[in-house]
Structure 1
Amino acid sequence: MDLTNIPIMAALKERLNWLNDNQAVITENISQADTPGYRAKEMEKQSFSGLVDELSSGGASGVQMRAKNARHLDVSGGSVGQSRVMEARGREESPNGNSVVLEEEMLSLADNQMKYGMVVNLYKKNLGLLKKALGKGGGQ
């Protein structure tokens, strides 16, 4: 049984992939905190409810993030899958031109980790419900 045929499971998988890519962007920002001229990056926000709607209407095979602005960076082939990464706006620059604020990045990292844990728990609960519906236990 392919779980990605079930819209909520496919949406949860897409969310986990986005959160994983977001983690990569945040950690890259942290690692470049002392690099002169480095501009902090961030992922384009993902609308989870819109993702569920799109998947339930039959778009499960090719969900991709879209750039809303021509200046968004395309990182195809990079460490971040098919999601869009853009320069973080509204960040204060240090005298050497670096726009990474470690406190903000650490808060983003903690928030990302909490969201990832929540989605993993939702995935487990939905899997348990499916097992129970099929009569294979699934009690947690």
Structure 2
Amino acid sequence: MDLNLDILRAARSLAAHSADRQGVIAENIANADTPGYRARDLIPFSETYEAGGPDTFAMKSTRMGHVQSEPSLHNSETTTITAFGAESPNGNTVSLEDQMMRGVEVRQNHDLAMSVYRKTLDILRISIGT
């Protein structure tokens, strides 16, 4: 029996993307008072997944041999974002309200991934009779 289920791979990729995105949001919040700091965010999961699926995601490294693990399930490429009216006189583009909303969205995506993963495993357990 082949248990290489695409739905589990997609759920795992969404959870990993959510974790990376939460880290970027935390960096934005930590630099909310840094002059000239530009708010960043990850490319949306839907665009990353449609571009090639979870098998094509590659971990980025700063130099050859730096990363010694298996290829990553997610793409950690960031883009610069600016919420409407968020730019301050010192050039900072972080809006705490916008970052909090993005944090809520990340939490919902992570919860969705975990729910799909949990329900898929429940269905597999029922199908094998345990």
Instruction: Please indicate the TM-score interval, normalised by the length of the shorter structure.
Output: 0.7 to 0.9
Does 1:123 find its partner at 2:117?
yes
Does 1:76 find its partner at 2:60?
yes
How far apart, CA to CA, are the structure 2 residues paired with 1:126 and 1:51?
A: 20
> Could you say if the C-alpha distance between residues 52 and 123 of structure 1 is closer, same or farther in structure 2, counting changes exceeding 3 Å?
farther
Aligned identity (percent) is 32
Question: Contact 2:83–2:98 (CA<8 Å) still a contact in 1?
Answer: no
CA displacement at 1:89 relative to structure 2: 4.4
How far apart, CA to CA, are the structure 2 residues paired with 1:93 and 1:24?
A: 21
Partner of 2:35: 36
Question: Contact 1:7–1:52 (CA<8 Å) still a contact in 2?
Answer: no
Letter in 2 for 1:95: P
Higher relative contact order (CA 8 A, sep 6+): 2
How far apart, CA to CA, are the structure 2 residues paired with 1:127 and 1:47?
A: 23
CA displacement at 1:51 relative to structure 2: 3.4
Aligned pairs (5 A) from 1:84-123: 84-89=77-82, 91=84, 92-123=86-117
1:51 is matched with which residue: 49, 52, 55?
49
How far apart, CA to CA, are the structure 2 residues paired with 1:13 and 1:110?
A: 19
> Could you say if the C-alpha distance between residues 2 and 116 of structure 1 is closer, same or farther in structure 2, counting changes exceeding 3 Å?
farther
Please list every run of at least 4 consecutive aligned residues from structure 1 whose deviation after the TM superposition is greater than 3 angstroms: 50-55, 89-92
Structure 1 residue matching 2:56: 3-state secondary structure: coil
TM-score by length of 1: 0.72
How far apart, CA to CA, are the structure 1 residues paired with 2:105 and 2:128?
A: 35
Unaligned residue ranges in structure 2 (runs of 5+): 63-71
Letter in 2 for 1:64: F
Question: Contact 1:8–1:52 (CA<8 Å) still a contact in 2?
Answer: no
Instruction: Give the number of aligned pairs.
Output: 119
TM-score by length of 2: 0.77
How far apart, CA to CA, are the structure 2 residues paired with 1:120 and 1:17?
A: 11
RMSD, aligned α-carbons = 3.0
